[in-house]
Amino acid sequence: MVKKILKENIVYLVLLVVLLLTSICVKTFFYDEILKFDSLISDFFQLNVVNNFNTSLMKIITFFGDGIAFIIIIMCSFIFLKNKSYSFYMMVNLLWTFLISVVFKNIIMRERPMVSLIEKPSDFSFPSGHTMCAVAFYGFILYLLCKCVKNYFLKWLIIFAFSMLIIFIGISRIYLNVHYFTDVVGGALLGLICLFMMINIYNKNYN
């Protein structure tokens, strides 16, 4: 079973390895240049966007990229959804994505920004786990909803709402200064790979 899944998703696994090797090369040879670029974006947020209202809002938004929020959603899906396979794949998707983020963080070992607007997490900075999991988790829910919803207007409304949620979760990590811009971009790319891989697994084993 595992061998079959790996074989069917070899493209996505290769992409993960390529991104890992690319990330290692960038950190090794271009870290100073990347840090300067990231610092410019972080400084822009801190000098021009930060205020009490925005900080309160971003703290709420970033919660939806937290593990607690994902667990609550999965638990509710197991309770209220008739089709438990949806809940199962949502759970597997989250665990798989989280595992990949941990692997990347502990290989790249990039330090987080020095000063943050919330308590700074103890793990490494690259990639942004909140962004990565948000892309994969909410992206998979979006995929399932689009398969079920037939109304054209409602479908695009759902796509817009989930897309905005994912984007603003990424922005919240930069705003709160717990991640750099490239952490969020890397998290988004990795999240997309994990998402497409899970969709492929779902379609091969469920449909």
Count Cβ atoms below 10 Å from residue 206 Cβ, excluding itself: 11
Closest residue by Cα to residue 140 from 185, 95, 79, 82: 95
Is residue 138 within 8 Å of 74, Cβ to Cβ?
Answer: no
Nearest CA to 189 out of 207, 181, 119, 68 is that of 181
Token reading at 41:
């974006």
Does the annotation mark 76 as catalytic? no
How far is it, in rounded angstroms, from Cα 35 to Cα 75?
39
Please tell me which residue in 179, 180, 197, 202 is annotated as part of the active site. 179
In a 13 Å sphere around the CA of 153, the CA atoms on its Cβ side amount to 0
The 3 state secondary structure assigned to 122-177 is CCCCCCCHHHHHHHHHHHHHHHHHHHHCCCHHHHHHHHHHHHHHHHHHHHHHHHCC
207 Cβ partners below 8 Å, 6+ apart? none
Does residue 48 have an active-site annotation?
Answer: no
Q: How far apart are CA 207 and CA 25, in angstroms?
A: 40
Please pick, among 105, 112, 130, 173, the residue that the annotation labels catalytic: 130
The residues annotated as belonging to the active site are 130, 179
